Amino acid sequence: MNILDFLPEEAVLPELRAHSKAEVLEELAAPVARLAAIPVEELVTVLLERERLGSTGIGGGIGIPHGKHRRLERLMIGFGRSREGVDFESLDGRPTRLFFLLVTPENSTGSHLQMLARISRMLKHEPFKERLLQAADRREIREIIRQEDQEP
């Protein structure tokens, strides 16, 4: 199970314009909702409900907003980068710059947790994060993810 199998090129946003947590969620959700043929408002609501349980800003400039949607047919991933950083109520209180959005069907607990763990593990590698921050465009971002996400 590779990240790029679930991360379409259109869902890679190398220049987020958002300046708040709600704006980030809406901007990240828009292409995923469009590709999944579900209303973006529904997806944003799911993500905001998850954020109420505790921030998905895990620190170190990383956010992994995630949730489950009843009308989603398969796991989907989005990616966004904010060069300035956004206050995402991160655990370390620092601005968040790299975001992986993960949404799954309601009944897919195993794949949801497996992909969350996979993304989290990759983001522990500082050189990987730095390459994502420096990438020129969405194609380069996808290539960096592909290189890092080689099956063991």
* Among 19, 66, 112, 125, the one annotated catalytic: 66
Vertex 138 angle, CA 38 and 69, to 5°:
20
Give pLDDT tens digits for 44-73. Answer: 999 999 999 999 999 999 999 999 999 898
The predicted structure's pLDDT at residue 1: 78
For residue 95, what pLDDT is reported? 97
Local confidence band at 151 (pLDDT 50, 70, 90 cut-offs): low
User: Is 66 a known active-site residue?
Assistant: yes
Q: Are strands 96-105 and 62-63 parallel, antiparallel or unpaired?
A: parallel
Long-range pairs, 52-56, Cβ under 8 A, ≥24: 55/88, 55/89, 55/90, 55/91, 56/88
CATH top class, domain 3-148:
alpha beta
**108: pLDDT confidence band, cut at 50, 70 and 90?**
confident
Read off the pTM: 0.95
In the chain, where the domains are located:
3-148
Alpha carbons 60 and 31: distance in angstroms, whole number: 25
